[in-house]
Structure 1
Amino acid sequence: MTDESERSSADEQDVTTEPVRAQYEWSSTAPSTAVIETAAIAVNRAPTTLEPLYESLDPDALDILLRPTGSASSDVETVTVSFNFADWQVTVHSRGDVIVRANSDER
């Protein structure tokens, strides 16, 4: 994973209101795991302290939907999945990007 967090290092709050971005290789990290890891960064907590992902969506379905096709063709469609997880809006792209941002109506 490459953490490309958009939050400022000067922000010492437990939870950021800025989007947190991370880049993963789906061949080495499952998308469902990437969502948990990135959300944990956003809330500055251990991944095991977050609510289970399956309460928001089916983690196995997410992994299957975004799994690598093995095709290097530029004609392959990009898949994007967005959903709410706890108080966060999560967007996951088939190219490996995970973006976690606070729901605007929750914060």
Structure 2
Amino acid sequence: MTSTTLDYHSDSISLRVVEALAAATDTDPSELEPLYHAIDPEALDQLFQSDSSADVSVEFGYHGSLVEVRSDGTVAIDGTVHGTE
């Protein structure tokens, strides 16, 4: 299992969600439904860009999978943590 963390100044968590789901489902990112059909990507990015040290986790369904975004920057698809590298 691999895990990556976010560089909060250059990475977009919404983009990381799309990349992780594409990797987990072996699907080209352009073939996935738009993320905004599942969650507001701007709100998601803002939530995880805050400098808060609070332990935050967001779960939502996307493209038939359960996505969890954690405050440490990890993205889990159906319980498995995915990295983009």
Specify the TM-score bucket, using the shorter chain as the normaliser: 0.7 to 0.9
Alignment match, 1:95? 72
Alignment match, 1:60? 42
What letter matches 2:74 in structure 1?
Answer: D
Gaps of 5+ in 1: 5-21, 103-107
| Cα distance in structure 2, aligned partners of 1:68 and 1:48 | 28
What is the RMSD computed on CA atoms of the aligned residues?
A: 1.8
Q: Which has the larger radius of gyration?
A: 1
**TM-score using structure 2 length:** 0.82
Alignment match, 2:83? none
Q: 1:9-88 to 2 correspondence within 5 Å?
A: 22-25=3-6, 26-69=8-51, 76-88=53-65
Gaps of 5+ in 2: 80-85
Asked if the contact 1:90–1:100 (Cα under 8 Å) also holds between the matched residues in 2, the reply is yes
After superposing on structure 2, the runs of 4+ consecutive aligned residues of structure 1 that deviate more than 2 Å are: none
User: Which has more helix, going by share of residues?
Assistant: 2
Alignment size in residue pairs: 78
| Cα distance in structure 2, aligned partners of 1:27 and 1:38 | 19
**TM-score using structure 1 length:** 0.66
